[in-house]
Amino acid sequence: MRVLVVGSGGREHAICYKLSSEDKVDKIYCAPGNAGISEIAETVDIKNSDIDSLVKFVKEKDIDITIVGPEIPLVMGIVDEFEKNNLKIFGPNKACALLEGSKSYSKEFMIRHNIPTARYKEFDNLDKAIENVGIYKYPVVVKADGLAAGKGVIIANCENEAVNSLKDMMKNKKFGTSGEKVIIEEFLSGIETSILTFVDNETIVPMVSAKDHKKVFDFEEGPNTGGMGAFSPSNIYNEKLKIDIEEKILKPIIQGLKKDNLKYKGILFIGLMITNDGPKVLEFNVRFGDPETQVVLTRLESSLIDIIESILDNRLSDIHIKWSDKKTVCVMLTSGGYPNNYEKEKVINIGDLDEDIILFHSGTKREKDLLLTNGGRVIGVSAKADTLKEATRKVYTNIGKIYFDRMHYRKDIGEGE
């Protein structure tokens, strides 16, 4: 089987890494890929947003299945375009992708189908938004409605912070057109966790749990990023919570998709806050999370391509999915200054790492014999062990063998959990 993975980050590297171990997969292409991916797949110089070129490439190479990693092509309608051309593709169509593409749409979906979530109001007028900014007291959450690479969510602790966030989004266009509409949302207290799920038209199946760390600095300080690290399983995900999530979140989601006639096939990421009132949904993503994918897929013992084929054939309920009991940790190495301004093309030096360490490249490229930084998040350092403590120790020991100028990483991923 010939497979194309669309994307260039650590999530796509993890997908390619898993596929590379599966007997059914003969050839992996990745567009556009990165330096790490190029070691296990043939990278193709096509942007993930260039849907016409991707269609043409898939036809030319007679590719059996395309797997879409990032959200932008999904929201653009890559699945619809492939299906028009009778090409097999894994991911939700454009209508379903709105669950991530518009926060107001996803909140309306939750409210309509009685899925627990925070109270909210939406605004497309700056003056009206400022007038209502304290409606849920402080802290309050301000969200850009559209896609913002994981950075369009601001927790404002006072009126001044909230107003400045609104101005940045709506007036100063910090996130482009994504901030033309905003959500002002009640701040939820509790413990954050996330669940990735496989979904076909009839069934939703949760993967093993994971905990993501969004803030750039230790102890959840600083601005939100695309993700500074993750571990699996989440320390709070016990049997009672699992049942609670299934009854209050997962069942209403699949019933809501059916009622709204949304033909969802793919991955649904559910960001959760476990509050004193039970689990509540923070957000939906319509694809694998990053870096959650790095810690979840390395625990998957079943064939990923078999699961994908079962979803495309609407027989997910027939598949038994097996997971490793081991614990996994991933810590992101980022460029200095990320998630704000940062420099690229810093030389990356990697020493003699332990055999069981996996590097998932996010923003890297090769020039001649040099490995260079090529993004804000550069490399995810991952390990698997019998205990979270041991996996964490392995990761941080080996991070000490990697260096690039102004390299930054959190020191507390997996610590004390």
| Confidence grade of residue 312 (pLDDT, cut at 50, 70, 90) | very high
Same domain, 309 and 212: yes
Cβ-based neighbours of 284, under 8 Å, separated by 6 or more: 99, 100, 106, 109, 268, 269, 270, 271
DSSP state of 233: S
Q: Is the pLDDT of residue 417 over 70?
A: no
**Cα within 13 Å of Cα(221), Cβ side:** 7
Same domain, 344 and 307: no
The answer to whether position 399 is within a domain reads yes
**Do the Cβ atoms of 179 and 173 come closer than 8 Å?**
yes
**CA 343: distance to chain centroid?**
23
Rounded distance, CA 168 to CA 226, Å?
A: 19
User: 3-class SS at 95?
Assistant: helix
Same domain, 312 and 217: yes
Omega into 279 within 30° of 0, i.e. cis? no
Q: Which of 35-44, 144-153, 330-339, 379-388 is predicted with the least confidence, judged by mean pLDDT?
A: 144-153
Q: What phi, psi does 381 have (nearest 5°)?
A: -95, 120
The pLDDT tens digits of the residues spanning 69-97 come to: 999 999 999 999 999 999 999 999 999 99
Rounded distance, CA 50 to CA 95, Å?
A: 19
Q: Is the pLDDT of residue 150 over 80?
A: no
Number of domains in the chain: 4
Rounded distance, CA 153 to CA 150, Å?
A: 7
| Confidence grade of residue 31 (pLDDT, cut at 50, 70, 90) | very high
Quote the mean pLDDT of the chain.
95
Of 286, 318, 350, the last residue of a domain is 318
Q: Is the pLDDT of residue 12 over 60?
A: yes
Q: Which of 32-41, 49-58, 224-233, 326-335 is predicted with the least confidence, judged by mean pLDDT?
A: 224-233
Rounded distance, CA 184 to CA 136, Å?
A: 8
Same domain, 182 and 235: no
The pLDDT tens digits of the residues spanning 241-276 come to: 999 999 999 999 999 999 999 999 999 999 999 999
Q: What is the pLDDT of residue 148?
A: 85
| Confidence grade of residue 381 (pLDDT, cut at 50, 70, 90) | very high
Q: Which of 122-126, 146-150, 326-330 is predicted with the least confidence, judged by mean pLDDT?
A: 146-150
The answer to whether position 332 is within a domain reads yes
The answer to whether position 170 is within a domain reads yes
Residue 268: which CATH number? 3.30.470.20
Quick one: average pLDDT of 349-374? 97
**Do the Cβ atoms of 28 and 5 come closer than 8 Å?**
yes
Same domain, 262 and 332: no
Same domain, 255 and 229: yes
Closest CA to 278 of 160, 211, 190, 387: 190
Quick one: average pLDDT of 285-304? 96
Same domain, 75 and 154: no
**Do the Cβ atoms of 374 and 364 come closer than 8 Å?**
yes
The answer to whether position 211 is within a domain reads yes
**Tokens 């409210």, residue?**
111
Q: What is the percent of the chain where pLDDT is above 90?
A: 93
**Do the Cβ atoms of 116 and 279 come closer than 8 Å?**
yes
Domain residues for the domain of 124 are 119-186
Round to the nearest angstrom and report the end-to-end CA distance of the chain. Answer: 41
DSSP state of 146: S
DSSP state of 220: G
Decide: residue 261, CB within 10 A, 0-12 exposed, 13-18 middle, 19+ buried: exposed
Same domain, 332 and 304: no
The answer to whether position 409 is within a domain reads no
Decide: residue 389, CB within 10 A, 0-12 exposed, 13-18 middle, 19+ buried: middle
* Cβ count near 219 (within 10 Å): 10
Same domain, 171 and 85: no
- For the four alpha carbons of 282, 6, 215 and 134, in that order, the dihedral sign comes to negative
Q: What is the pLDDT of residue 138?
A: 96
Residue 45: which CATH number? 3.40.50.20
The answer to whether position 139 is within a domain reads yes
Of 132, 159, 186, the last residue of a domain is 186
| Confidence grade of residue 128 (pLDDT, cut at 50, 70, 90) | very high
Q: What is the pLDDT of residue 267?
A: 98
Q: Is the pLDDT of residue 290 over 70?
A: yes
Of 279, 298, 318, the last residue of a domain is 318
Q: Is the pLDDT of residue 416 over 80?
A: no
Omega into 233 within 30° of 0, i.e. cis? yes
Six-digit token pair at 397? Answer: 């020991």
The pLDDT tens digits of the residues spanning 34-76 come to: 999 999 999 999 999 999 999 999 999 999 999 999 999 999 9
- Ordered strands of the 211-217 beta sheet: 211-217, 221-232, 327-334, 377-385, 358-361
The answer to whether position 103 is within a domain reads no
The answer to whether position 109 is within a domain reads no
Same domain, 354 and 377: yes
Residue 134: which CATH number? 3.30.1490.20
Quick one: average pLDDT of 134-153? 90
Same domain, 129 and 208: no
The pLDDT tens digits of the residues spanning 183-212 come to: 999 999 999 888 999 999 899 999 999 999
Rounded distance, CA 194 to CA 234, Å?
A: 8
Closest CA to 332 of 20, 90, 10: 10
Q: Is the pLDDT of residue 299 over 70?
A: yes
Q: Is the pLDDT of residue 405 over 80?
A: yes
Rounded distance, CA 53 to CA 35, Å?
A: 21
Rounded distance, CA 320 to CA 293, Å?
A: 20
Q: What is the pLDDT of residue 224?
A: 85
Q: Which residues of 299-320 are buried (b: 16+ CB within 10 A; e: fewer)?
A: bbeebbbebbbbbbeeebeebe
Same domain, 53 and 11: yes
Cβ-based neighbours of 397, under 8 Å, separated by 6 or more: 354
